[in-house]
Amino acid sequence: MAYRMTRLFSSLILSKRMQSTNRSLKAMSRRMGGKKAEVLYFHQPDDPYSHLTAQVLSELQARYDIDLKIMLVDPPLDDVAPERESLQEYGRRDAALIAPYHNLSFVDSGKQPSATSYQSARRALAASSNLSKAAVEIGEAFWADDTDALDRLAMVSEEKTEQVFRDGTKLRDSLSHYLGAMFYFEGEWYWGLDRLPYLETRLKETGLRLSGCRQITKFQDRPDFMSKPSNGKRLTVEFYPSARSPYTAISMAETMDLPNHYPINLVVRPVLPMVMRDLPVPKRKGLYIVRDTKREADRIGVPFGKIADPVGEPVRRCYSLFSWAQEQNKGGELLHAFTDLAWAHGVDTGSDDGMRQVCERAGLDWSGAQAVIDNQDWQVWAEENRLQMMQSDLWGVPSFRLLDETGKELYAGWGRDRIWLLVCEIQKALEA
């Protein structure tokens, strides 16, 4: 019964009809009140993605009939940002890699700027009356750890600074979010450059794009598959999925298809879900993730939304079959079938009937599965996979590691949002 309630609830909150109704009501309320459309942006000075996003704020204000209100916020709390050091290391590296594709700039020095630079940047931002411009200038000095440049900027007291950041953080929390580089417009959230195209599309559909203006950002999708030979090279892609991850669910098909186009060995290395590793996933984070996954799934044409959350026993049962499936070269197919049935079709994958459907969809024999299901052997390799993933400053799923023929890491990235970059790095390595 519980899984049926989850499926009904998820179908309701993720429905396009409900989204359309909510948007119409918000727009109607704004027009009836005679108010200008307001977009909130939450800027976190020590967040690389905030620095990238700040570089497009002036253009956003110039191209849309909106009041862009910039709020300053503190870093997220530990319950929504576990593995903070890995997050910082990876965020800098990732921002530096994606910046050129957006014609923006970010230089990773290999370490976080000093505490002195951070405090000075906060005070300078709190003193600014034009944050859409100042956030870029201050960000450049901060990420260069240029304390002299920061000291030349106008600043306010520590007390005033704390109040400004406290107010911004409180507003973000009251609207049920937790990250920096977030846009909020009439009930919906958009994260940084990766989700800004959704916001721009919505502003256009609401009639708020100014005449003659074009969209600033676009989705970074996988480039065309290369047609030239690879000079005999063969690479390895390690894929770290979780059977309980919505983002994994919508990444499976695209990832499993990569060996059909490139000379790569795809090695599937499942890890336990964060919540099953004693890492918290608060309700507001979980709700944002499934809503964000739904709009991505709709855009790329992957089914998602009728959910029977497989946390706990369903995941354990699936992992208990993984090695057996791998012996038949169907480990990836098992996980693909499992995530699809759990996240797109609302199947109770913890039941025998649900697991039978998983096996049949993956091309595996259910009677053979019954002989090995519910073993505990998987716990050893799941932990080994997690430790290997963490060595590359990866903590979430799905994650990817690209290795050359000697096992040297060429690229490591997190999320379906970076499959396009993984493909670019594959092509670069094959053409070298």
User: What are the structural domains, with CATH classification, of the chain?
Assistant: 36-205 (3.40.30.10), 235-431 (3.40.30.10)
Task: From 137, 223, 218, 131, select the one nearest 168 (Cα to Cα).
Answer: 131
Comparing C-alpha atoms, which of 415, 396, 400 is closest to residue 235? 400
Structure tokens at 28: 């109607």
pLDDT tens, per residue, the chain with 432 residues: 344 446 666 777 888 888 999 999 999 999 999 999 999 999 999 999 999 999 999 999 999 999 999 999 999 988 888 788 889 999 999 999 999 999 999 999 999 999 999 999 999 999 999 999 999 999 999 999 999 999 999 999 999 999 999 999 999 999 999 999 999 999 999 999 999 999 999 999 999 999 999 999 999 988 888 776 667 899 999 999 999 999 999 999 999 999 999 999 999 999 998 766 666 677 888 899 999 999 999 999 999 999 999 999 999 999 999 999 999 999 999 999 999 999 999 999 999 999 999 999 999 999 999 999 999 999 999 999 999 999 999 988 999 999 999 999 999 999 999 999 999 999 999 988
Contact 397, 245 (CB under 8 A): yes
Radius of gyration of the chain from its Cα atoms, rounded to whole angstroms: 23
Nearest CA among 48, 40, 72 for reference residue 160: 72
Cα angle 202-207-213, degrees, rounded to a multiple of 5? 90
d(CA 192, CA 197) in angstroms, rounded, equals: 9
Total count of residues recorded for the chain? 432
Calpha distance 46→36 (Å, rounded)? 31
Predicted local distance difference test score (pLDDT) of residue 278: 62
Measured between alpha carbons, how far is residue 269 from residues 105, 241, 263, 384 in Å? 33, 7, 19, 9
Closest-CA residue to 107 (of 82, 133, 137, 143): 143
| Nearest by Cα to 43 from 191, 181, 244 | 181
Angle between helices 158-174 and 115-127 (to 10 degrees): 80
Are the beta carbons of 422 and 413 closer than 8 angstroms?
yes
My answer on whether omega of the bond before 273 falls inside 30° of 0, hence cis, is no
3-state secondary structure of 50: helix
Distance between CA atoms of 159 and 162, rounded to whole angstroms? 5
Q: What is the DSSP string of 378-405?
A: HHHHHHHHHHHHHHTT--SSSEEEEE-T
The answer to whether the Cα torsion of 389, 394, 398, 402 is positive or negative is: negative
Residues 6+ apart with CB under 8 A from 306: 7, 10, 11, 343, 344, 345, 346
Q: What are phi and psi of 302, to 5 degrees?
A: -110, 135
The β-bridge partners of 39 are: 68
Q: Which amino acid is at 173?
A: D
What local confidence, expressed as pLDDT, does residue 5 receive?
43
Mind giving me the DSSP string for 416-431?
GGGHHHHHHHHHHHHH
* 258 neighbors 264 (Cβ within 8 angstroms): yes
**Residue 82: predicted pLDDT:** 79
Q: Write down the pLDDT at residue 2.
A: 43
Spatial separation of the C-alpha atoms in residues 376 and 92, rounded to whole Å: 38
**pLDDT at position 222:** 85
CA dist 334 and 259 (Å) reads 17
Helices (H), 144-261: 147-151, 158-174, 192-205, 246-249, 252-257
- Is residue 409 helix, strand or coil? strand
Neighbours of 223 (CB within 10 A): 12
CB 139 within 8 A of CB 105: no
Q: Residue 321 has what DSSP assignment? A: T
Q: Is 224 exposed, middle or buried (0-12, 13-18, 19+ CB in 10 A)?
A: exposed
